[in-house]
Amino acid sequence: MLRIFIGWDSRFPEPADVLRYSLHKHASIPLDVRYLKLQEIGLRREVDPLASTEFTYSRFLVPHLCQFRGKAIFMDNDMLCFGDVKELDALDMKPYALRVVKHDYQPANTVKMYGCPQTSYPRKNWSSLMIMHCEKLRLWSKQVVETQTGAYLHRFQDIPDELIGDVPPEWNMLDTMDTSTRLIHYTNGGPWFEAYRNHPHAPAWYEARREMLAASLARFAPQIAARAFPKAPISAPHAPPLGETVTHI
């Protein structure tokens, strides 16, 4: 079963739900999808004023959470999947500690999402989707994730370049879509933010959200109806004694 960890932010939890729905919708293999909720994973760090999400650092705790065994994928919550993650699972991880889409991203805007500062640094967005060979990432211990700088973690310092493999670019397309897109990343801000309601690719996210809510309603509607309208007990009709005439009024 493929383990996928989604970054989770208590201020806007719904994007993670929509991403999870889209992953399951298109997957042909079993998935174990989990959220990185700070109150559940025990990460202790001082508040970073430059951190735009609650999962800025928690993503690097995934190998620790997996006991440094096997393979796992991390994804930012502001993504929407259109492809079968079996394609990611099939990528050979034996030579690598990580696989990522190696963006050369230079943001043009100075703010993103809900007005937080946009920062620029080497390897920006590489850590937004990571396939991790957990045994080879023991350097990301809990202590390191709690104490090291954002630059150290997000730039994959101390991980040799030859241990960082590629993910096909269609699996992390930044604010754009075409016929090849397997996953879009609303990296500047998705349509769940007021300022991005009219994002060029907002309709795709709205449609996935509608499908998710409809599927949820269909799943729970019978249970809700059963509680609201319990069935009356059914008793067998009383049969008259032999020879008795039944009069219909």
pLDDT at 141 over 90: yes
pLDDT in tens, 189-218: 999 999 999 999 999 999 999 999 999 888
pLDDT in tens, 85-139: 999 999 999 999 999 999 987 776 655 555 555 566 678 899 999 999 999 999 9
pLDDT at position 60 is: 98
Specify the pairing of strand 129-133 against strand 71-75: antiparallel
pLDDT at position 131 is: 98
Over range 230-236, report the average pLDDT.
Answer: 52
pLDDT at position 51 is: 79
The ranges assigned to domains in the chain are 2-214
pLDDT at 229 over 80: no
Q: What is the second-level CATH architecture of the domain 2-214?
A: Alpha-Beta Complex (3.90)
pLDDT at position 113 is: 54
pLDDT in tens, 9-48: 999 999 999 999 999 999 999 999 999 999 999 999 988 8
Q: What are phi and psi of 72, to 5 degrees?
A: -150, 155
245 compared with 31, residue with greater pLDDT: 31
pLDDT at position 212 is: 96
Query: Around Cβ 49, how many Cβ atoms within 10 Å?
Result: 7
Query: Taking CA 87 as the corner, what is the angle to CA 83 and CA 93, rounded to the nearest 5 degrees?
Result: 145
pLDDT in tens, 51-66: 789 999 999 999 999 9
Over range 219-243, report the average pLDDT.
Answer: 56
Average of per-residue pLDDT values in the chain = 88
pLDDT at position 248 is: 45
pLDDT at position 111 is: 59
Alpha-carbon gap, residue 66 to 64, rounded angstroms: 5
pLDDT at 153 over 80: yes
Provide the b/e sequence for 129-166 (b: ≥16 CB within 10 Å). Answer: bbbbbbebbeebbbebbeebebeebbbbeebeeeebbe
The single-letter DSSP state of residue 196 is G
